[in-house]
Amino acid sequence: GITGLSYWHNGLKQLSANKPLLLPKDARGLKFRVQASAVLEEQFKAVRANPRKMSFAEVYQGLQTGVVNGAENPYSNIYSQKMHEVQPYITESNHGLLDYMVITNTKFWTGLPEDVRSELSSIMAEVTVEVNKQADALNQGDKQRILDAKTSEITVLNAEQRAAWRDAMKPVWQKFEGEIGVDLIKAAEAANQAQ
């Protein structure tokens, strides 16, 4: 088995497209690049968009040629991959988190002396705070660089628009509640309402 030690994030995901995306109906018929994930596929199907699995390295060309019309990425990915050059509209949706999990083999982890595990856990917690702080700063800086480039219009959703997107995603939550767990979904929903 494996043991999760920490979650590091690359940033909150934003929607980019060749048209403004303010409400779920705006995504209808668009082809969105998605990672290989059943949840992400269902997320776009819920708004009647067409999810297309595509490697990250192919996204810029796919957006440029119209193979896909939109994508979801943190600002750091949008900027570093120059997606803002081929996506005139970005919706600051903060609809997901692109993160990484630090894991270890459970047998190895439990075989370590308790004091070593405790010290490593403490170090991981400290590093996680710093890495996540740096990721947030990188994303804010890249958002500003996108604004400065004047190639994309960034729209921040208002409370009603955000609620409409959440409502559109509820069937997806229900579909995966057996795999994810009702408690986790309720906790996420409570966190969403607080924002």
| pLDDT class of 77 with cuts at 50, 70, 90 | very high
| pLDDT given at position 118 | 95
% of the chain beyond a pLDDT of 90: 78
| pLDDT given at position 194 | 59
Q: Which tens digits make up the pLDDT trace of 12-53?
A: 999 999 999 999 999 999 999 999 999 999 999 999 999 999
% of the chain beyond a pLDDT of 70: 97
| pLDDT given at position 152 | 98
Q: How far is CA 33 from CA 52, 120, 167, in A?
A: 5, 38, 22
For the segment 60-85, the average pLDDT, to the nearest whole number, is: 97
The angle, 0 to 180 degrees and rounded to 10, between the axes of the packed helices 38-45 and 159-180 is: 140
Instruction: Report pTM.
Output: 0.88
Strands ordered across the beta sheet of 153-156:
50-53, 31-34, 70-73, 2-17, 89-105, 153-156
